[in-house]
Amino acid sequence: MAVVNAVQRWLLGLMLACYVLAGVFPAPGERLRRLALPIPVGASALTVPMVLLAMMLFNAGLGVRVADLRGVVARPVRLVLGIAANALLPLLVLPVVALGLRTWHDPAEAEGLVVGLVLAMPIAGGAASWGQNAGANVPLVVAMVMGSTLLSPLTVPIGMHLAGQLVGPDGAGALDDTTTVDVIARTGAGVFTLVSVVLPCLAGVVVRVALGEDRVPRVLPAVKSVNVVNILLLCYINAAGALGQALAHPDPDLLVLALGLSGAVCCLTFCCGRWMSRWTHCDQPDGVSLTFATGMNNSSAAAVLAACWFPHRPAVLLPILSYSLLQKIVAGVAAKPRRPGKRGVAADYARLG
């Protein structure tokens, strides 16, 4: 258990190491990413990354204490505001980004970045862990994560429809994958989020209820160990799809643009969450909850979806991978060290990202 706790403390550094490993030795990750089971998931097959993602979301659901959510549901205004902000902000920001990228010298790269940025998934489970370090109302964050997750089969296809409009022939240019975007919006995204995100998370909640609160602490150490391996393996596989190609055919300006856009969007979402907390006169715990829920997205799910549908377009994966790291850096800067002895539901909630 001490090893797992140490790994969690150094998780960001280990993720960076996985990125480096994926750039230098992408072949094993590429092979794992292409492995698929003969089980249809929308218009594609069930892949190894989808299975790993489902396991992560199952572990996240296993960390949710249903009893802690009852008081939050009784005061739904801030809960609804956090879920709505996380879902709507990408839809408001994306047209501005697409318009600004019309001057980019390579329309295909610009459109790939737009698609990557629109793959906004539900609130990251890691918002609970990072939020607790900053003094958040953790049950509120967890409720936001659950609500956002349950709505993802609706919100993700809406985002993809918008991306299709922005990058198609009538938008920023003629993306050769416009048909793929339309297919994802109609069938792929909704089924993907249902199978790989919603159902595993609900299954974890159900298993926790079935086990009972007395038995759950016995299995959580093993769950955390599995989850850490899951996170790092999925990070390596997703990064191999983009960084291997990026290093084989270096394009420094694309890398800088992806980092810049991801950083700008990441900071903007955190700032919007902070502004909304002040606008609604939230107390500090609820305000911190709103800030982290607005700023943190489940980039692991977005990366799996992108790697599944756009394996040949590193421009789609680059902003997602950048955002995954940057949101943790911003969260780490915003968070304060947790006071000794302070515990809560986030202590059992896996850091997802």
pLDDT for the residue numbered 120: 63
pLDDT tens, position by position, for the chain (353 residues)? 666 666 667 777 888 888 888 888 888 888 888 887 777 665 567 788 888 888 888 888 887 787 777 778 777 888 888 888 888 888 888 888 888 887 888 877 887 788 777 766 678 877 877 777 677 888 888 888 888 888 887 887 777 777 777 765 544 444 444 445 555 555 556 677 777 788 888 898 899 889 888 888 888 888 888 888 888 898 888 888 777 776 667 778 888 888 888 888 888 888 988 898 888 888 888 888 888 888 888 888 888 877 777 766 777 888 888 888 888 888 877 765 444 444 444 444 444 44
pLDDT for the residue numbered 343: 45
Residue 242 lies in a domain: yes
Helices (H), 184-215: 189-193, 199-211
Partner residues linked to 175 by β-bridges? none
pLDDT for the residue numbered 195: 78
The number of folded domains in the chain is 1
CATH number at residue 264: 1.20.1530.20
pLDDT for the residue numbered 40: 63
pLDDT for the residue numbered 181: 56
Q: How far apart are CA 100 and CA 79, in angstroms?
A: 33
Quick check: helix, strand or coil at residue 74?
coil
pLDDT for the residue numbered 168: 56
Q: How far apart are CA 304 and CA 339, in angstroms?
A: 35
Q: Is-contact 289 141, C-beta < 8 A?
A: yes
Residue 353 lies in a domain: no
Q: pTM for the complete prediction?
A: 0.77
Q: How far apart are CA 172 and CA 350, in angstroms?
A: 39
pLDDT for the residue numbered 175: 46
Residue 61 lies in a domain: yes
CA–CA distances in Å: residue 158 to residues 57, 93, 162, 286: 22, 14, 6, 28
Q: What is the CA radius of gyration of the chain?
A: 19
H-run or E-run covering 324:
helix 314-334
Residue 265 lies in a domain: yes
Rounded to 10 deg, the angle between the 2-9 and 11-24 helix axes is: 70
Domain that holds residue 279: 2-348
Among the listed residues 288, 268, 266, the one whose alpha carbon sits nearest the alpha carbon of residue 277: 288
Residue 25 lies in a domain: yes
